[in-house]
Amino acid sequence: MNDPTPRLILASASPRRRELLDQIGVAHSVLPADIPEIPRPGEPPEAYVRRIAAEKSLAVWEAQSSGLAVLAADTEVVLDGEIFGKPQNFEHAAWMLARLSGREHRVLSAVSLRAEGQHWEALSLSTVEFRALTPAEIAAYWASGEPQGKAGAYAIQGRGARFIRHIAGSYSGVMGLPLYETAELLGRVGFG
Ligand SMILES: Cc1cn([C@H]2C[C@H](O)[C@@H](COP(=O)(O)OP(=O)(O)OP(=O)(O)O)O2)c(=O)[nH]c1=O
């Protein structure tokens, strides 16, 4: 099934993104992009995720000389217009989870593809509703290790599923790589 010579580079350190790309049968190699992820003052969340995904793909596109296509993504949790990235520590995670508790928030996932000197992008918007969480649940969730490295300090694909009453949009998008949009972009440049 796997192409022995992948023509696509996934610019990501995220194991979720690798798994998701494997799920739709797209052969790829992996080269993480190391770029600063800091919103600009007043930058709207949609613009921010698109910019970061584009910067990730550009960093890897410029770093490689093989001319292979490069795919990157960025995922952020947004509540009341505020961007929730990855938690820095327990206090930060607990603050984010307490804010998400009992409410609906948005998850934005941008995809960026560079191939043959061109740039394509897509944006996936999902709505996720959390049930109310107790401080003890939040502390136990942090202790599980799952919130670390996840936007909004939770994982829909893990124990965090216990907190999610409803989702509208893209499950794979919430997890980090919206597969419908990704497949569509890849199809435009002749992948799968
Ligand atoms: C909301 C949510 C996020 N996440 C993850 C997906 C992303 O890995 C992470 C958001 O951080 P990102 O900055 O989008 O990605 P990353 O730093 O992990 O990987 P890279 O930039 O190298 O591609 O949060 C989940 O795994 N499940 C979820 O339910």
Q: How far apart are CA 110 and CA 125, in angstroms?
A: 9
So which residues are the catalytic ones? 74
Which tokens sit at 165? Answer: 């009453």
Overall pTM surpassing 0.90 (yes/no):
yes
Name the architecture of domain 8-188.
Alpha-Beta Complex (3.90)
From the CB of residue 5, how many other CB atoms can be counted at a distance below 10 Å?
7
The whole-number average pLDDT for the span 71-84 is: 97
Each residue's pLDDT tens digit, 36-62: 999 999 999 999 999 999 999 999 999
C-beta of 107 in contact with ligand 1 (< 6 A): yes
Q: Is the pLDDT of residue 146 over 90?
A: yes
Ligand 1 centroid–CA 153 distance in Å is: 10
Å from CA of 123 to ligand 1 middle: 15
| Rounded Cα distance, 46 and 130, in Å | 22
Q: Where are the domains of the chain?
A: 8-188
Query: What is the model's pLDDT at position 1?
Result: 47
Interface predicted TM-score of the whole assembly (ipTM), two decimals: 0.98
